[in-house]
Amino acid sequence: MSDVTTAQPAETTPSGVPTIDHDEVRAVLEYYAERGWTDGLPVMPVTESYLREFLARTGREPDEVLLAIPHLNRELTVRLAAINAGLAGCLPEYFPVVVAAWEAIAQEPHPRKGIWQSTTGTAPFTVVNGPVREQIGLNSKGNIFGSGFRANATIGRAIRLALINVFGLHPHQLDQATQGTPAKYTACIAENEEASPWAPLHTEYGLERGDNAVTAFVIRSVMHIEARHTQLPEQLALDFADTIRRTGALIHEHTNALLVIVPEHAHLFADAGWSKDDVRNYVVEHAVRPRAELAAVGKDAVSHHSRWRLPADHPDAIPDAASEGPDPDTVPVMTAPSSVQIVVAGADNAGVSAVVEIFGLAPRERPSSFSKIGEL
């Protein structure tokens, strides 16, 4: 999709307001829609002059490849990323964040293994840290998973539109999601660093607090944790663990989670002397299921080929790793504290946090990747 619209000089009214030919605008939008260049919603027309504003925001060459997916024989260049950012409604000043998001995504093995085509309905999810949040108006407070903020909505949408337009991941075609998720439209939040008692997410990668960074995840779903009732860190952490260990989430032998903790809950933990590592360790220790409960839903063994969960009497089934452990009747659903990532985001007005189901890179590795944002 290398085509963009050629702009004509706009006429203005006597008051200086540009006039708009609605029929021409509608014709452009329908032209894009007929070619499948949308996510189902109208997109912004992109002209060559507007595209140059995006490209001027990065020192990268337009033909530089940000992500290649060999099995699809397709590549995303900086120019194509810019076109889709424009289509998504991004402002040019958002483009360094979009580029960094693609750089983080490119570090993951999942896209090259076809994860974006999965029947599970996976979606890219980005978390932004650093001063850029305030500079471009990213929402880190109330309604972080909802609507209302252009930067969040359009940065996430820029990723999805490129997956559709560059990599061909159209629903019912290469995108084989059985049901999908609203995150397939857009999924981008910022960390509420100012309201957090802990160091922000990107500092765990060795970056400084003042650095701008994007962390990329592959997500399946977002589940809210209603916990307005307690001031005990153990009770709150058990609510997180119980949500993670639910049987319906156990596709693979083990799972991973991103805890999106609201400031109220983060301070509950911190005031009790808990660090992020204390939360991780407690959640991993208690994210276990009795084997009998897994057997009841047919998930007490794993596939010899894929290590996806199966009933023990399945022809392809072999014992899971817990079967050889000191307590074979208790099955941990996470492998290590690194399976749990933590970010503080949301408003400080109610005890409602979230567990985001994410795919990990490999057992005992951090289930995310990051990229530092270039100069704005």
Alpha carbon 309 to its chain's center? 25
Asked if pLDDT for residue 362 goes beyond 70, the answer is no
The per-residue pLDDT for 16 is 61
Residue 128 phi, psi (nearest 5): -110, 135
The per-residue pLDDT for 7 is 47
Side-chain half-sphere exposure of 139, counting CA atoms within 13 A: 20
The per-residue pLDDT for 37 is 95
Asked if pLDDT for residue 250 goes beyond 70, the answer is yes
- pLDDT tens digits along 63-107: 999 999 988 999 999 999 999 999 999 999 999 999 999 999 998
Range of the domain at 122: 22-287+333-372
- pLDDT tens digits along 110-164: 655 567 788 888 899 999 999 999 999 999 999 999 999 999 999 999 999 999 9
Would 314 be classed as within a structural domain? no
CA distances from 7 to 1, 28, 44, 94, 311 (A): 18, 11, 13, 22, 61
Distance CA 359, CA 251 (A): 11
Would 311 be classed as within a structural domain? no
Contacts of 168 (CB under 8 A, 6+ apart): 72, 74, 174
Would 299 be classed as within a structural domain? no
Would 111 be classed as within a structural domain? yes
The per-residue pLDDT for 93 is 97
User: What's the Rg (C-alpha) of the chain?
Assistant: 22
Q: Which two tokens stand for residue 108?
A: 């993951």
Question: Could you tell me what percent of the chain has a pLDDT over 90?
Answer: 78
Question: Could you tell me what percent of the chain has a pLDDT over 70?
Answer: 91
Distance CA 376, CA 132 (A): 8
Average pLDDT over residues 233-239: 97
Tell me if residue 214 falls in helix, strand or coil.
strand
Would 292 be classed as within a structural domain? no
Asked if pLDDT for residue 286 goes beyond 80, the answer is yes
For residue 223, name the pLDDT band (cuts at 50, 70, 90). very high
Would 95 be classed as within a structural domain? yes
CA distances from 71 to 56, 74, 117, 184, 204 (A): 31, 8, 12, 21, 33
Distance CA 216, CA 368 (A): 6
> 218 and 122 in contact (C-beta within 8 Å)?
yes
Quote the DSSP letter at residue 12.
Answer: B
Would 327 be classed as within a structural domain? no
Would 41 be classed as within a structural domain? yes
> 181 and 123 in contact (C-beta within 8 Å)?
yes
The per-residue pLDDT for 115 is 75
Q: Which two tokens stand for residue 352?
A: 């409602």
Distance CA 145, CA 345 (A): 10
| Predicted TM-score (pTM) above 0.85 | yes
Mean pLDDT of the chain: 91
CA distances from 258 to 184, 268, 297 (A): 18, 18, 25
The per-residue pLDDT for 170 is 92
Distance CA 253, CA 76 (A): 33
- pLDDT tens digits along 288-339: 999 999 999 999 999 999 899 999 999 999 999 999 999 999 999 999 999 9
Domains held by the chain: number: 1
Q: Which two tokens stand for residue 241?
A: 């663990």
Dihedral (CA of 124, 128, 132, 135) sign: positive
